[in-house]
Amino acid sequence: MTTATRSSSRSACAALLLIVTACAGCMAPPVSWRHYPGEKQFTATGDSLVVLPVEDRRELHNDGPSLLNYVPLMLWTTQTDSMFDLILRQPGTRRGSIANPSLMFVAGRDLHEAMAQELGRGRCFGPVFRSHEESGPWPGADERQHTLLLRLNTLALKQVHLRYGLGPAAFALFMFGAPERHVRLVIDWRLELRDAEGRLTYESDLATSRVFYDGWYFSTDAEQRALDALSLILAEELDVLQEACAPNDQTP
């Protein structure tokens, strides 16, 4: 093999490695809601439970993507999705809001379904219904039916888009795996459990925030990690609820 042939072969390998590296930097798994249930089991109370639809009190006040992303010398820009499951065609307008297809997450629907599944799996209450219509008349004079409500005050994503001062040229760094953004997950909700007479028997307020950075090659992106954290936080909160309501002879 001649020197020229070897040099050409090395150049071809280097070019191929460059292409593979760039493609790897652009790869990311699809973002989707997946509930991760807790592993604890609880002694049954003998009471049924209706998980009421989520009471969504969030206000739509989103900041769309900023045009400053395309201005050189900007190190970062910010964006707020105060509904977590919405994006805006026109920032600040309710009429322009649409479901965010990249997240595939609708807070009221998915949290409600996850709560019902989690509490049914925990076996503290049985059976667990998703609505009064689903349960119908609950028979048995000695059996009670509780209701659980999640009041959602805040569930938002606050994103920081990293631009590295390069404006539109920052895309070159993203191709090679440089973090594109980080997001802050903000949660503020209240759980209320009431007995058959409507008396409040358990209440819990949660206000917290978590920050997630985009990883490098083949890492799960920040939005997915925020969704996963939301699932784990919900499972932990429902475990605490069941621990408080289960009889003292709780089984592991």
Q: Which amino acid is at 212?
A: F
Note the CATH architecture for domain 31-245: 3-Layer(aba) Sandwich (3.40)
C-alpha span between 36 and 67 (Å, rounded): 37
pLDDT computed for residue 66 by the predictor: 72
pLDDT band for position 251 (50/70/90)? very low
pLDDT at position 91: 55
Is omega for the bond preceding 30 within 30 degrees of 0, making it cis?
no
Name the one residue in this structure whose structure tokens are 């659980």. 148
Output the CA angle 145-106-102, nearest 5 degrees.
155
pLDDT digits (tens, 9 = 90+) for 177-191: 788 888 899 999 999
**Distance between CA 229 and CA 245 in Å, rounded?**
25
Q: In terms of pLDDT, which residue wins out, 60 or 220?
A: 60
Digit-coded pLDDT (tens) for 140-167: 545 688 999 999 999 998 888 888 888 8
pTM of the predicted structure, to 2 decimals: 0.79
When pLDDT is cut at 50, 70 and 90, the band that residue 21 belongs to is very low
pLDDT tens-digit map of 27-48: 556 778 999 988 888 988 888 9
What are the boundaries of each domain within the chain?
A: 31-245
